[in-house]
Structure 1
Amino acid sequence: MAIPTPQLAGEEGGASSVKDGAPPPPRPRAWRALLRDKGAVLSGAYILLIVLMALFAPLIVKLSGWGPYEFDQTAVDPDLAGMPIGDWGGAGGEHWFGVEPGSGRDIFARIVYGARVSMLIALSATALTTLLGVVFGLLAGFFGGRVDWVISRVMDFLMAFPALIFMIAILSALPAGNRATLLVVVISVFGWPYLARIVRGQTMSLAQREFVEAARASGASRAAIVFREILPNLRSTIIVMTTLAVPGYIGTEAGLSFLGVGVVPPTPSWGQMIASSVNWYSVVPTYFAIPGAFLFLLVLSFTVLGDRLRAVLDQEGVR
């Protein structure tokens, strides 16, 4: 569950903030450099493809001809324990990625809807984690004293837990109701301290800078100092941390679904599909390989994009 810690950006941005009293705007050449990076472009293109696939899942599935919950018993052989009929797990013009062994459900349709589930949970958890991490990190770093002590102890308490084990225990004990919402809440509870700790440290450093002291001397309120002086200087760190958090949460959702405490069947989930393929992968390897490949490429794309973004922002000294 630990989110990778980005290297801090260079001091150029900080020097500019000290001189001008305000954080510098992001430099266009930083984004141009990112667009020239083939790894970042390919990663971004794949992420965009998955996002569009998730957004337009009903339309895409309608074009394919099969829904994620429809059973096609004619595509499996009942005499062979439900083995798909044909090569590559029954892949062809009617079922583009083949069918699930036993049930005959269309793998392509379930991949498309599984993308919607995975992205919804991962992005929602990332948004909630970022909100909590930034708010508590700013409070602890700016106010210090008892506020910092209380928040820091809560962070230490949550970070001391073996997160995955407690997630499994908590989700197993809770009703299966709206499992997606429960996943978002549980993942966020254990995830926000990692961002909050970084935001706290940078806030404490920024609070001592000359431009913040100048704002205090001019009579600016605490809210104005936080939102106009400190928070804008944290934006590159927050962007990078958010980008790096998404693949971790995608993997967490898939792992929990694989272990049977995540998304509840028959709701499609890539992790759930991989779990179901365990008994079939030796005879129908495509049933395991297809959702595994989609999951691997999505996690890899977010990781590469986050790493490239961090490198570009560090090189350009954007704060």
Structure 2
Amino acid sequence: MNLRIITILVFCLPLFGYGQDQKAYRIGIDDRLQINFWQETATDLNSVVRVREDGKITLPVIGDITAAGLTTNELAREIVKQMAFYNPGISQATVVVLEYNSQSVVLTGAVNQPGKHSFEHIPNLLDVIREAGGAADSADLSKVTIVRQENGKAKVINVDLLKTIRDGDISSLPQIQAKDMIHIPRSSYGTIQQIGSGPTFRGKNIYFIYGAVGQPGVKDLGEDIDIVDAIASAGGTLESADLKNVRLVMKDVQYSSVLNFNLDNYSKSGRPARYTLKPEDTIIVPFRSSGNGWFSRISELVLPAVITTITTTIIVRELDNNAGE
């Protein structure tokens, strides 16, 4: 029994180490590496180097050695192997990646920390933007573009990130690749505060809620309130509420924008992602279809159009006033 266990371990350990190397980060062009030797007599050989365009680095004694495409463990073994020809006392070395410059992307536009950002493993688009400090308040997330070089030509990928956030499904996002350039445009109408800087629209700290709720009307907007909190503050939903088709009218983009929320699905899976209300957002909780016909639901059917029309008129009037000044 003991012999069998020992035999299994002997054969499994090399495979385990191989699997680790396969999944480990592979060094790329322009990465910055720190190389240290464990032996006290070799500490003067410790180096910080950058991987050149030819994929090689230069070290004392052994000169040039290929680094690109290797894991840190593979490169360390190769360095020790070549050093041993000149100094047999060197038996161990460590390689650490200080900068993952080969795995970098560039963010431009309405992002809080534009510029080049490097990753050991490049995450999805949402996480890349989050690592760059998040999108600016004036960002138009419905028109994000990714510019990628393929076969010497620029390929442009358009992404409606606002729809992805609304749906709560990031699986449809394109995979970000090294050297991609991500651009987040600014809304041509600016932020809520920029649009509402004139006398007509002031972006009051309130929200509106109508439809199948206990206490519809105008409510004070507290700090960090999401759509679920807002409905609860309005007395919750009625039994006749259609939770699968809740709508929200925002004023922070051109001519307003309407988002659809499936709160029935949200209560079960936590999706879509949490949405924090902004000043003068309007929530519409529709009634489920019934035999009473469309007349009993006229306020629900007409109200969204009225709100959108009023919002559009206010924005256009404000812009006209500013132009006149």
TM bin (shorter chain): under 0.3
Q: Quick one: higher RCO (CA 8 Å, sep 6+), 1 or 2?
A: 1
TM-score (ref. length: structure 1): 0.23
Higher relative strand content: 2
Structure exhibiting the larger radius of gyration computed from Cα positions: 2
Higher relative helix content: 1
TM-score (ref. length: structure 2): 0.23
